[in-house]
Amino acid sequence: MEYRQLGGAGIAVSAFGLGVMTFGGQTPEDDAFRQLDMAFDAGITLFDTAENYPTPTGPETQGRSEEVLGRWVAARGLRGQVVIATKVAGPGNAAGDMRHIRGETRRLDRANIRQAVDDSLRRLGTDAIDLYQVHWAERAISTLGRTRFSLLADAPDQVSIEETLAALSELVSEGKLRAIGVCNESPWGTMRYLAVAQEHGLAQIAAIQNGYSLLDRSFELGLAEVGMREDLGLIAYSPLAGGTLTGKYGADPVPIPGSRSSQSAGFLARLSPAKQSAILAYAELAREHGLEPAHMALAFAKAQPFTTSVLMAASKASQLEGNLGAIGVVLDKPLLQAINAIHDGNPNPR
């Protein structure tokens, strides 16, 4: 396993991390513990969760992912050997109705952030969170997952980035947070966090967690340069594009029983002809080079110069076992060129 620095935070993390978004929900605790053990034994030290997990989200299970992760860390005595990352939910979280988390007043203001941090610390069973991230921006962002920009008006009572960052900085000063980051951000929002930190002497974000995969390389069109020039590490989520890049869905996709796709309404409807064409092309290319499609996809995300860590995620230990085979995979230049050729012919398919 390779280890990389998390921006300027002085924290080393594994080049592959484990996302635990299904733990405590779709993934029962015994299977979750098996996955966590497997990941740690393979060299993974970064474990990523959020206050609203597991997914699908709901009031009955909210917070269980953090609890499961915290119990595992305590049971194995690993607190000083792992990096725990979690997130605060705000009004912009794209996960449906989440009024069960601090009600109608869930914002990214000081009161909400302090409450969220204290609740996460309790569930995780720790006195400090290594990386605390803003899950979604307070404002509506119109550049993620879309093909063009559209201006969306700010809410009259929108919490400013200045207020959010000041609240996070307080908690860094108090020792409750070691480092902070953003998720699902735009280039403008990321640069605004950096500018506010410099202008007001506040804590600087160390990472940005956005989606990145062979099917979605939009991070490269603005944010990659920001990350590399401003010393921000990408924590790439969904590197297998919801499991589609494993090649398991084929040319005529149907839901796989027990998979996340089977519990996500409309998942397969999002597999457009353009996406299926790209998926099949990448799978064929991987097999031509003697690789599993999933291993090629994961290794590709890790190989990018702007990537700090790539989050694997699995609902079952058997799925994670297969994905861990990507750890030692290195893609040579001809293969990377062939990947780029497929991308250039069908970029970020919709």
Tens digits of per-residue pLDDT, 229-251?
999 999 999 999 999 999 877 65
Tell whether 133 is covered by a domain. yes
Tell whether 29 is covered by a domain. yes
* Residues β-bridged to residue 105: none
Q: What domain range is 234 assigned to?
A: 3-245+297-328
Tell whether 81 is covered by a domain. yes
* Residues β-bridged to residue 314: none
Which one, of 94, 93, 95, lies nearest residue 106 by Cα? 93
Tell whether 286 is covered by a domain. no
Q: What is the pLDDT along the chain (350 residues), one digit of tens a residue?
A: 999 999 999 999 999 999 999 999 999 999 999 999 999 999 999 999 999 999 999 999 999 999 999 999 999 999 999 999 999 999 888 666 788 999 888 999 999 999 999 999 999 999 999 999 999 999 988 666 677 888 888 989 999 999 999 999 999 999 999 999 999 999 999 999 999 999 999 999 999 999 999 999 999 999 999 999 999 999 999 999 999 999 877 656 666 565 555 555 556 666 899 999 999 999 999 999 999 999 999 999 999 999 999 999 999 999 999 999 999 999 999 999 999 999 999 999 99
Q: Which two tokens stand for residue 118?
A: 């204290």
Tell whether 238 is covered by a domain. yes
Instruction: Give the total number of structural domains in the chain.
Output: 1
Tell whether 285 is covered by a domain. no
CATH of the domain at 13: 3.20.20.100
Tens digits of per-residue pLDDT, 142-189?
666 677 888 888 989 999 999 999 999 999 999 999 999 999 999 999
Identify the DSSP state of 208: E
pTM: 0.94
CA–CA separation, 307 vs 208, rounded Å?
A: 10
Tell whether 261 is covered by a domain. no
CA–CA separation, 211 vs 209, rounded Å?
A: 7
308 contact partners, CB below 8 Å, separation of at least 6? 4, 5, 6, 7, 13, 15, 207, 233, 234, 235
Tell whether 256 is covered by a domain. no
Catalytic residue annotation: 53
